[in-house]
Amino acid sequence: MEKIAFFDAKPYDRESFDKANKDYDIHYFEDKLTAETAPLAAGCRAVCAFVNDTIDSAVIDTLCAGGTKLLLMRCAGYNNVDLKYAAGKLVVLRVPAYSPYAVAEHTMALILLLNRKVHKSYIRTRDFNFSINGLTGFDLHGKTAGVIGTGKIGQAFIDICLGFGMKVIAFDPFPNEELAKSKGFTYVSADDLFAGSDIISLHCPLTAENKHIINEESIKKMKKRVFIVNTSRGQLIDSEALLHALREKRIAAAGLDVYEEETDIFYEDRSADIAHDETLSLLVCMPNVIITSHQAFLTEEALSAIAAVTLANADEFFGGKGEYSNEIKV
């Protein structure tokens, strides 16, 4: 029975993988995969990692020295993997899609919470304060949603927006005009999206080209009082620029399920720690910002799909096929 070293394991991970697993000896480690923890994988031919693990050259060398041949990313993103260094040393497989609906629905939940001030009314009514002063929102119907990235998650979010009666414009470096025509949205340039959107939502992978796509310059092109929502990757937004624009009231509200410096914070209980990230501390304290802890994917259906596809990826590798449907290549 092949051994899999499973890093950054949480109770929900164990539950979903134990339910799906029949063929592997999975060793769960609560620690993230780093240069310090990589030796724990010695003797395991496969390692299972997640979005906030560090898979750099030092980690790859340690894994290979311990006999690891396969890196199973139980997520769609892989910007934390040094793919160039891994080439020829490790086969890297991922889960390209699990539940686009989970992320898209969480995105709309953030928008609804921010717009209708539900987070504020929840606190008020628990204190028997039933005043509705300061809770005014706006109709989503007729507003323009700007969607950056039209992959499966972006498409699911577009469907939700259209269901609310919103107009949708989108930017994607690889536009699919046939898709746009069939769904009823329009592709525009990034600048036109910034200028024309009431709500901007990010649904794209992190690349060298789009890092900090939301920055000081792009914010200047946006409508005043725009909403910005990010359920993709934290580094798509320059956090300092976002904070500054929120303070100046150029941006009306922000919903963030990710943060560019989240690695040592998200997925962990830091309630007893002194916060050293001043930008995050200020964002958390703002009444027009809602931050969730990279949980947009977290549904029963998504967890089940992640486990099933990850283990199927392992089956392909250990079955000796030599070609892998979900391989990440440089």
* Residues designated as active site: 233, 262, 294
CA distances from 134 to 108, 186, 248 (A): 21, 34, 19
Is residue 153 within 8 A of residue 108, CB to CB? The reply is: no
Q: How many residues does the chain have?
A: 330
- 296: three-class secondary structure by DSSP: coil
Q: CA 158 to CA 166: how far, in whole Å?
A: 9
Amino acid at 254: A
Residue 83: both structure tokens together? 């793919």
Angle at 159 between CA 76 and CA 212, to 5 degrees: 50
Burial of 215 (0-12, 13-18, 19+ CB in 10 A): middle
Tokens 């699911």 locate to 156
Residue 171: both structure tokens together? 């930017």
